[in-house]
Structure 1
Amino acid sequence: MKQLFSFLKYALLLGVSAFLMWYALKELDFQKMWDELKNTNYTWVGVSLLMGVAAYISRAYRWHMQIKPTGHSPTVLRTYRAMMVGYLANLVLPRMGEVVRCSILKRTDNVPVNTGFGTVIAERFIDMVMLLLAIGITFLVEFNRIRDFFLSLFTDKYTGLEQTIDSLYWVFWVMLGATVVILFIVLRYLSRLRQNSYFQKAASFVKGMLKGVFSITKLDNQGVFWAHTLFVWLMYYGTSVIVFFAIPATSNLGWGAGLSVLVIGSLGMAAPVQGGVGVYHLLVQATLLLYGVPKEAGMAYALVAHTSQTLLVVVMGVISFITSMVHPSQPVATEDNPITVHEFKR
């Protein structure tokens, strides 16, 4: 029954992606879009792919830095492989990639899944902060266009939102009340819970996860870590701008438009559907309309930018998966699991 539910959930997400792609394409002149795609300069696409590779390598090194303070020391190469397999899994099962990459690292370097997952949570939090920073900069630079985008997005829905705001307040207070009750019960029966094996396992899991989350406070070199973080987001921004030059209709757009595409495209990629398919295309197309780019050219840009980076993830992810499975895992010495080496003398 659980497997059936999971299948239906992911089938529904795939259906949403397909519907959004159909909706984005249904009113386009395919001949005009095809003309834009035929005239694409794939040299610039190749440059964007190199920037994508650089971003992934930098992210892998940054994740490696996060893991080291937990008492485990996987190589950067194995960290990179696990991360790319996780990104590959996200193209099939949204939000499963985080668990998959931690499982791969458990197999290859004996890093506990809960500890690895804690580092991923910290990583996602940092990405959220960087995205919010990018949104803030974009609003300062491109305020009028971004304002128009959000107004056009929410104007038609404002009346319905206003009518349901009271219901949202009720949901908030009910959830808050339920949280308080659960906390009271846990504290009230804490001594009994500590004797329960399931509670002990859950507490141990949370403890290991928090160890991973707070590893960011024990980094060997904070400066290098944040330099990699900045570099990763500069590469993301660079890929948005570089692909402009590949499409004739977007080749005259500037760095401000690149900021808008980065922010709106990132929001589309964060949607809980396979690889952001449909959501990314629809949002980027709408964003480029604000800069006078026709719908067909905007969709051509979205297709080239998204498809090229997706294929990059597929190629790098498949290679990483094969090499991770072929190379046998080795026992790794850690603070929690030291390896004793016995010497035998004749």
Structure 2
Amino acid sequence: MKNILRYTISLVLAGGLLWFVFKDINLGEMLDRFAKSDWRWIAVSCFCLLLAHVMRAWRWGMLIEPLDHKPGIVNSTMSVMTGYFANYIVPRMGEVTRCGTLYRLERIPVSLSFGTVVAERIFDVIILVLMIGLNFILEFERLSTFFTDFFQSKIGGSQGGGSGSGMLLSILIVGLLAVGVAATVIFRNAALRNKLQQNAVIAKIIGFAQGMLEGLLSVRKLRTPGLFIFSTIMIWVLYYLVSYVLFFCIPETSDLGPLAGLTLLVVGAIGMTAPTQGGIGAYHLLVGNVMVLYGLSQNDGITLATFIHGAQMLFMLVIGALAFLYVLIVNKNKVEEPEQVSAAN
């Protein structure tokens, strides 16, 4: 009952967000743009996405190796694909499905593989945080002006981009210093840390931070830490290319530069974390609006977001379905082989 309720809520949320995004959009005009787009770039984008998932499967195998298991790259890749497929059906089911699939193919216990997935996610969160910081540094003027003007318009204040940017920078610096000082004090004072952990919310925050640190330090236990770091970087480079090359599909977005691609990647990754099927709705809302910063109309921004998300979703649904078919065939053969041996004896 709880799972049904959760699924229903995520479905309603996705539907509500999609309605909000598309209520003023001319869908006929959008479909016409899709029909006239250069589909060769979609093939390039899909290849980059496939390669990114193969790299993710390779990296996952590195995390599993120290646990005395060495899954094959094909089976690991198929497990990753089924996980993404499941995520488009039921939010947050991808990790469990991925580990369950790997158990069917490699007989690696779910309890072991799930722990490595958690560690893997920690590294992805760290990379995402670093990319958010890099994006804000490289595009500070553009982003700060956008956010300050947005909030000033909401509270009825004057729109002064320069003074607003300076104020935002001051707030960020003071905020980071405050967080740094607080974290240092809590880390060094065990009594204070234990007292704070009695609060459920603070305990979760501290536990999350400790988990992030443990996950980060776990790379030292890997047999090939250099390859692990390389694969992590390559995954995110490929994710960047997946979205960036699709700029060239539509004439209105073909002039967007590399920094626009970085902003899209960061904002899109945040949108994909929403509790909806594959980030549906949230991705369109965030990406469609942030692209206005780069001179696109909101209509063009939403068209781009729909194009990128739709291409990725269709590709992953097809590849994920094929991966599920592969798992069923391989698993069936594994069941039949012992039966044939028993019959022969």
TM superposition score category, shorter chain reference: 0.7 to 0.9
Question: For the Cα contact (< 8 Å) 2:123–2:216, is it kept in 1?
Answer: no
Point out where structure 1 has 5 or more consecutive residues left out of the alignment. 160-172, 183-210, 332-346
**Which residue type is aligned with residue 330 of structure 2?**
H
Aligned pairs (5 A) from 1:65-214: 65-151=62-148, 176-177=197-198
Cα offset for 1:42? 0.9
CA gap 1:139/1:34 in 2 versus in 1, 3 angstroms: same
2:321 is aligned, of 318, 328, 333, to: 318
Aligned to 2:237: 234
1:9 is paired with a residue of what secondary structure?
Answer: helix
1:223 is the counterpart of 2:226 = yes
Identity %: 38
User: Hey, what's the Cα distance between the residues in 2 that align with 1:322 and 1:102?
Assistant: 17
1:298 is aligned, of 296, 301, 312, to: 301
Cα offset for 1:147? 2.1
Point out where structure 2 has 5 or more consecutive residues left out of the alignment. 157-193, 204-213, 336-345
* CA deviation string 1:84-126 (max 9, x = no partner): 1111111111111101111111222121111111100111000
Question: For the Cα contact (< 8 Å) 2:62–2:222, is it kept in 1?
Answer: yes
Aligned to 2:24: 27
**Which residue type is aligned with residue 308 of structure 1?**
A
* CA deviation string 1:144-164 (max 9, x = no partner): 2222444466668889xxxxx
Question: For the Cα contact (< 8 Å) 2:21–2:281, is it kept in 1?
Answer: yes
Question: For the Cα contact (< 8 Å) 2:122–2:216, is it kept in 1?
Answer: no
2:249 is aligned, of 242, 246, 252, to: 246
**Which residue type is aligned with residue 320 of structure 1?**
A
User: Hey, what's the Cα distance between the residues in 1 that align with 2:9 and 2:279?
Assistant: 14
* CA deviation string 1:36-92 (max 9, x = no partner): 323211111111111111101111111111111111111111111111111111111
**Which residue type is aligned with residue 315 of structure 1?**
V
User: Hey, what's the Cα distance between the residues in 2 that align with 1:305 and 1:255?
Assistant: 16
1:51 is paired with a residue of what secondary structure?
Answer: helix
User: Hey, what's the Cα distance between the residues in 2 that align with 1:5 and 1:216?
Assistant: 36
TM-score (norm. length: structure 1) = 0.76
TM-score (norm. length: structure 2) = 0.76
Aligned to 1:46: 43
Cα offset for 1:310? 0.9
Task: Give the structure with the higher percent helix.
Answer: 2
Question: For the Cα contact (< 8 Å) 1:17–1:274, is it kept in 2?
Answer: yes
1:74 is paired with a residue of what secondary structure?
Answer: coil
User: Hey, what's the Cα distance between the residues in 2 that align with 1:35 and 1:135?
Assistant: 34
User: Hey, what's the Cα distance between the residues in 1 that align with 2:216 and 2:321?
Assistant: 28
Give the RMSD, CA atoms, in angstroms: 2.7
Q: Which fold has the larger relative contact order, with Cα–Cα distance below 8 Å and residues 6 or more apart in sequence?
A: 1
User: Hey, what's the Cα distance between the residues in 2 that align with 1:283 and 1:219?
Assistant: 37
CA gap 1:149/1:126 in 2 versus in 1, 3 angstroms: farther
2:294 is paired with a residue of what secondary structure?
Answer: coil
Aligned to 2:6: 9
CA gap 1:74/1:152 in 2 versus in 1, 3 angstroms: farther
User: Hey, what's the Cα distance between the residues in 2 that align with 1:157 and 1:330?
Assistant: 62
Cα offset for 1:214? 7.7
User: Hey, what's the Cα distance between the residues in 1 that align with 2:31 and 2:272?
Assistant: 24
Cα offset for 1:330? 5.6
2:103 is paired with a residue of what secondary structure?
Answer: helix
CA gap 1:85/1:143 in 2 versus in 1, 3 angstroms: same
Aligned to 2:163: none
Cα offset for 1:5? 2.4
2:198 is paired with a residue of what secondary structure?
Answer: helix
